[in-house]
Structure 1
């Protein structure tokens, strides 16, 4: 039952990804190694989290799956659950000791994955469990450029620094202008974003809005004191 190979590495991981609880249970009863490494998801727990089946995740945890195991497509099981947008599995993994700030996977951290997916409820949950705002780059900039007003507000509510600098965007206001969502721009201005802050690929927010051709945002910035010179 532990033969290695194929997309999922072993039969347990394949069954876990498919969410087939009865097969997972049978394989465990026959001695399948719950912590076996390999395959697309690195281990069966991450595969189950990616598949979104809470009962399979719970079964694997009950049989000794390592919630902190690293590797695979998503980096760890917590990030897999976040990418899947499965809040109940995220809660289950956190309850079982998942490290909310583990720097793994394509997004860096679980919070970055939630911000990338524009998922305000999971972002808030992670922050309530101690997620750090700036472990990988700046999450506020990511939310701003993606035009996710609810996530931006969530991050600000939890202490994100509105004028923190980012090498590509300058401050979050600049990022929001690039994203093109006027409501996010207004929200950041209402939270004292520096309208004339310098930096980023366009130099400042007003230049970014002008270069992109967003007249509404240009007008909004000018009304907020942007310096045309």
Structure 2
């Protein structure tokens, strides 16, 4: 009941409860009142001895809650009464990270004015700069950099600010800003490993070109897809041609599919398979007991099965999961089976 009263702003109810001796630090009352922006209730709780740095609730601390929700008056009140601007807790880790994720420039500035550590690590994004870069906030990214944010700091689910920025569509200005301030275009971090990989996977041609122009290693290994070319091959992007033109190794091995040809064959991208074969992709490459032909047969991509065979794919290669004919038979891919049998399976 007390928690609900704090959440709903029932100041009179809270006052009566406190006067009857209820523990002021119980049930995250201060966090709830702070997240809702009830300045007078926050003041009331503080007057009754509430610990402004108590840990608890969804956000971790009252200051984190107020910073996430953007309640400037509450933030100032908490700081005036000793709230630690660098306290850690909750999903977002720090008050600055929470405010940055919410793209709240005024809150970020207020926290900076009170000595917050702009490079503090914590929460899902790791740093405030990572959070701001993910949101695509040019002004906020600039503000953090101006106050000493490390553009190459590692942490959080994205690994780096540059990787975080790649998750937002049309975020070229922020990406350019980070690069202009020394962001390492080949830094490893997060699910995709290197910046070039997510940009290639999502088809952000201008971003890929920008990264390449600034020294991105087209053959860097790491992350979910192993290479940028394999990432592009999963989605049939014209970026694959751009990467090849910049020296991408069509036979590089890594990632969840093994090679770019494995990925293109699995996803059924005919034009991309043709492109890779024209540039010397090994048609019989076996990675983890799987060949491109096995992938195409498994996914019933008849045209690619034909194309691979025409380019020298061995139809009877025995892998960890059997032959192409066996997998086609297992999943009743009759049309694929006929093609394989016609070519000597």
- Structure 1 and Structure 2 fold alike (TM over 0.5): yes
Rounded Cα–Cα distance in structure 2 between residues aligned with 1:113 and 1:72: 14
Structure showing greater radius of gyration is: 2
Rounded Cα–Cα distance in structure 2 between residues aligned with 1:85 and 1:120: 9
2:94 to 30, 39, 43: 43
Is 1:188 equivalent to 2:239 in the alignment? no
Report what 2:211 is aligned to: 155
Moved over 6 A (4+): none
Aligned length: 227
Which blocks of at least 5 consecutive residues in structure 2 are unaligned? 1-51, 283-310, 313-345
Report what 1:175 is aligned to: 231
Report what 1:72 is aligned to: 123
Rounded Cα–Cα distance in structure 2 between residues aligned with 1:47 and 1:170: 32
Which blocks of at least 5 consecutive residues in structure 1 are unaligned? none
Shift of 1:188: 1.4
Root mean square deviation of aligned Cα: 2.2
Greater Cα offset, 14-23 or 137-146: 137-146
TM-score by length of 2: 0.60
Is 1:100 equivalent to 2:156 in the alignment? no
Structure-2 change in CA distance of 1:198 and 1:40 (3 Å): closer
Summarize deviations over 1:158-205 as a string: whole Å, max 9, x none: 101112334754542222111322x2112212323234x241354533
Summarize deviations over 1:15-60 as a string: whole Å, max 9, x none: 1111122322232233322222222222211111112110110011
Is 1:217 equivalent to 2:272 in the alignment? yes
* Structure with more relative contact order (C-alpha pairs < 8 Å, separation 6 or more): 1
Is 1:126 equivalent to 2:182 in the alignment? no
